[in-house]
Amino acid sequence: MKETGRYEPYSYFQLMEVSLRELLVEKGVMTEDAIAAAMAAMRARGPERGAAMVARAWLDPVYKSRMLANGSRAAGELGFEVPGLNLIVVENTPQAHNVIVCTLCSCYPRMLLGIPPEWYKSRPYRSRVVREPRKVLAEFGTRVAAKVQIRVHDSNADMRYMVLPMRPAGTNGWSEERLAATVTRDCLIGVAVPKLPKFPKSRKS
């Protein structure tokens, strides 16, 4: 439920959700504590899991090939339980840039990336990124060269998607943890690419 900060009466669907939840508790199907725990677990999940998979793939080409063949199994290898998730990992290369959308609703690999951002669920993103991906990416600050192919993936049915971005230059010898820290949620959706923090250039005479 979205918090707007001011009192508003329940909408039809909010009322339905509260009624259903209260009935399930009253009938002993689940407890309030179990619901609260599930919500806390959902909020605690963030894109760090996806970022860890990316960093491992950058360091281990054999893991990377397993990840591209079966994303869910590769998540399990790092200890991430993803029951029911059919994950496809799509790889960015110098020739192709990938971006994910669910045009029908808001399908998203929550087990690995957490709760999707509001814009991912918004009608403007869902309707525009399929038909003018380059313009939408530019609005996110991601300019893709004309010679690079854009691949838009509509997550419209049973599969879920995550982008494997390219490893940024200048990261030779970096640890897995340090590499993972360059991978943001937006990189895993494909609207951004990993960037290194900018340091002011040292002044040389």
Partner 1 sequence: MKSDSDPIFRPGDRVRVRNAAPLGHVRTPFYIRGHAGVVERVCGAFPNPEELAQQRDGLPAQPLYRVRFRQKDVWPGYRGSAEDVIEVEIYQHWLEV
CA separation for the pair 163, 98 (Å, rounded): 7
Nearer to partner 1, 45 or 134 (CB): 134
Establish if 176 lies at the interface with partner 1 (CB under 8 A).
no
Stretch that binds partner 1, among 152-160, 169-177, 188-196, 197-205 (CB under 8 A): 152-160
Give the other-Cβ count within 10 Å of 67's Cβ. 25
Looking at residues 82 to 101 of the shown chain, list those that interact with partner 1 (rule: CB under 8 A): 86, 88
Q: What are phi and psi of 170, to 5 degrees?
A: 85, 20
Among 78, 159, 166, 181, binds partner 1 (CB under 8 A): 159
Contact 161, 100 (CB under 8 A): yes
Nearer to partner 1, 86 or 171 (CB): 86
CA separation for the pair 3, 171 (Å, rounded): 40
CB of 101 to partner 1, least distance (A): 9
Under rule CB under 8 A, how many of the chain's residues touch partner 1?
A: 24
Mark residue 190 as left, alpha or beta (left: phi above 0; alpha: psi -120 to 50; beta: remaining): left
Nearer to partner 1, 56 or 160 (CB): 160
Nearest to 148 by CA among 90, 91, 96: 96
Stretch that binds partner 1, among 12-20, 47-55, 140-148, 167-175 (CB under 8 A): 140-148
Nearer to partner 1, 36 or 157 (CB): 157
Contact 57, 63 (CB under 8 A): yes
* Residue 107 falls in the annotated catalytic set: yes
User: Catalytic pick from 105, 122, 127, 175?
Assistant: 105
Establish if 49 lies at the interface with partner 1 (CB under 8 A).
no
* Residue 187 falls in the annotated catalytic set: no
Contact 46, 108 (CB under 8 A): no
Establish if 68 lies at the interface with partner 1 (CB under 8 A).
no
CA separation for the pair 19, 14 (Å, rounded): 9
User: Catalytic pick from 72, 102, 155, 187?
Assistant: 102
Nearer to partner 1, 153 or 167 (CB): 153
* Residue 102 falls in the annotated catalytic set: yes
How many residues are present in the chain? 205
CA separation for the pair 69, 46 (Å, rounded): 24
Establish if 177 lies at the interface with partner 1 (CB under 8 A).
no
Enumerate the active-site residues: 102, 105-107
